[in-house]
Amino acid sequence: MYSFNYLKPGSIKEAESLLSESDDNKVISGGMTLLPTLKQRLARIDNLIGLEKCGLDKIILREGLLNIGAMVTHFDVSNSALVKTENPAIAQLASHIGDRQVRNRGTIGGSLANNDPSACYPAAILAMSGTIHTTKRDIKAENFFVDLFETALEEDEIITSVSLPKPERAAYEKFPNPASRYAIVGIFVAKFDSEVRVAVTGAGEEGVFRCQQIETALSAKFLPESLSEINISADGLMSDIHAEADYRAHLIVELAKRAVAKSIAR
Amino acid sequence: MTEVTLTVNGKKYTQNVFDHVLLSDFIREKLKLTGTHIGCDTSQCGACVIHLDGKSIKSCTMLAVQADGCDVLTIEGLADGDVLHPMQRAFHENHGLQCGFCTPGMIMSAIELIKGKPDITEQEIRQGLEGNLCRCTGYQNIVKSIQEAAKNENNLTNR
Ligand SMILES: Cc1cc2nc3c(=O)[nH]c(=O)nc-3n(C[C@H](O)[C@H](O)[C@H](O)COP(=O)(O)OP(=O)(O)OC[C@H]3O[C@@H](n4cnc5c(N)ncnc54)[C@H](O)[C@@H]3O)c2cc1C
Ligand code: FES
Ligand code: FES
């Protein structure tokens, strides 16, 4: 690993000003993505800014929305009584990210900032139309995920928390890569009073996306059977050593059916 | 360089470390506790699992400076002299290892996994070991060992 300094600011204001001092400064949350990158010398930085003392580790209910601090670990999301009652689907999603040791360190803020095309949280936040709160502004999920590993975040902007409305029904289904546990395809289905929203991770060449075809079918009737005639085009889907695009297209429909069934059974 | 103070297996250490030193390297090279193994550089194998403030973590994916003020438990901290920890004994009695490279990480993960779960199922154990890879055993006897240790959970000191 190249050498760097580790800084532990005591407030988010201080963290923000340290980050804006240089393009070669970077924040670190759980480090489950950033440290492997640094170990392989894929990145070089001057100062790592740890967010552990910035008070971003709370889960609260604010104006009817579930608000999860950026530093809350996957384990704490999966294990929180408040999350389990307010939004059981996201608790369940978090309980299947990576492995127990990854969940004990990895955070929701780090996962969203990283926007890995196979990560789980982006599908949930997009399907539930969540809001990402940062040191500068509030960003709707629709405008946040830009491209592979790319978000609307500016260089010196830090995620502080995420807010989620409460869906009537919701569930996440993923087909995990057996080695890494990342999603080969992951589907988050969320039914609200006024609309059904479905987001797909792991499959899109440009990262997480909403699937209108499935949304329309489920808006007519929120049942797994509504999807039996659906065919998803493989255009724009990833092909890699794990799966071909047409296989991913098939998985999208299959997993969507399972997610709907799971959300109804819940 | 930063001065860090941490408790490892009940003993307090204060040392100067470079900020970019991994906790796993600190434990192995500074403290000479080589039971914590390094099996990969992608955070996937789990050979390096230790407990940090009671939670299992991959020590290869954390910096020593991040552990400042924390309580660390490594495989060396489990046995009481010649008396094995119940999880170690279960691995010993059920032939839960072959080469033994994955074993320290397996045992540290397993201890957290069965905490408060004397009736843990085989399925739950297999899922709970997602973060630990073994290239020798085929996992059968590892699962058996952990299941037996879970049954004896009452004897487990939650250290
Ligand atoms: C073996 C393994 C398996 C995994 N499996 C899965 C899986 O199945 N599903 C899944 O979704 N993920 C998986 N992950 C990724 C894991 O969820 C990571 O925790 C997550 O992607 C990054 O979170 P982190 O807190 O570790 O971020 P870090 O590694 O600390 O940071 C990641 C990036 O985000 C930036 N960043 C961090 N926090 C903030 C913030 N608050 N504001 C702005 N920028 C920030 C950092 O500068 C860095 O560029 C896996 C990881 C490993 C090692
Ligand atoms: S050495 Fe492989 S996960 Fe830490
Ligand atoms: S016993 Fe050899 S790697 Fe597990």
Annotate B117-137 with DSSP letters as a single string. Answer: -TT--HHHHHHHTTT---SSS
- B42 Cβ under 8 Å from any chain A Cβ: yes
Both B7 and B68 in a single domain? yes
Tell whether B81 is covered by a domain. no
Distance to chain B for A99, nearest Cα, Å: 5
- Taking the C-alpha atoms of residue B111 and residue B77, their distance in angstroms, rounded to an integer, is 13
Domain with residue B108: its CATH number is: 1.10.150.120
B103-114 and B140-151 helices, crossing angle to 10°: 40
The verdict on B99 and B149 lying in the same domain is yes
A68-116 per-position pLDDT tens digit: 999 999 999 999 999 999 999 999 999 999 999 999 999 999 999 999 9
Cβ <8 Å between B41 and A104: no
Domains of chain A by start residue, with CATH:
5-50 (3.30.43.10), 59-164 (3.30.465.10), 169-265 (3.30.390.50)
Which tokens go with B73?
């438990």
Nearest residue by C-alpha to atom 31 in ligand 1: A110
Same domain flag for B12 and B64? yes
Give the end of a domain, one of B76, B100, B123: B76
Q: One digit per residue, pLDDT tens: chain B, 159 residues? A: 999 999 999 999 999 999 999 999 999 999 999 999 999 999 999 999 999 999 999 999 999 999 999 999 999 999 999 999 999 999 999 999 999 999 999 999 999 999 989 899 999 999 999 999 999 999 999 999 999 999 987 554 444
Structural domain count of chain B: 2
The last residue of one of the domains, among B76, B96, B122, is B76
Task: Write out the residue range of the structural domain in which residue B52 sits.
Answer: 2-76
Q: In the structure encoding, which two tokens stand for residue A244, read together?
A: 């071909």
Reported ipTM? 0.95
> Is the domain of B70 the same as that of B38?
yes
What is the Å distance from ligand 2's center to A82 Cα?
33
Residues with Cβ within 8 Å of residue A266, at least 6 apart in sequence: A88, A89, A169, A171
**CA B77 – CA B11 distance, rounded (Å):** 10
Entry pTM: 0.96
Rounded to the nearest whole angstrom, what is the distance from the C-alpha of residue B99 to the centroid of ligand 1? 32
Do residue A3 and residue B18 have CB atoms under 8 angstroms apart? yes
Of B52, B76, B100, the one marking the end of a domain is: B76
Neighbour-count burial for A20-48, b at 16+ CB within 10 Å, e otherwise: eeeeebbbbbbbbbbbbebbeeeeebebb
B114 in a structural domain: yes
* Phi/psi at B58 (5° precision): -90, 110
Kindly list the residues from chain A whose CB atom is less than 8 angstroms away from the CB atom of residue B62.
Answer: 31, 35, 105
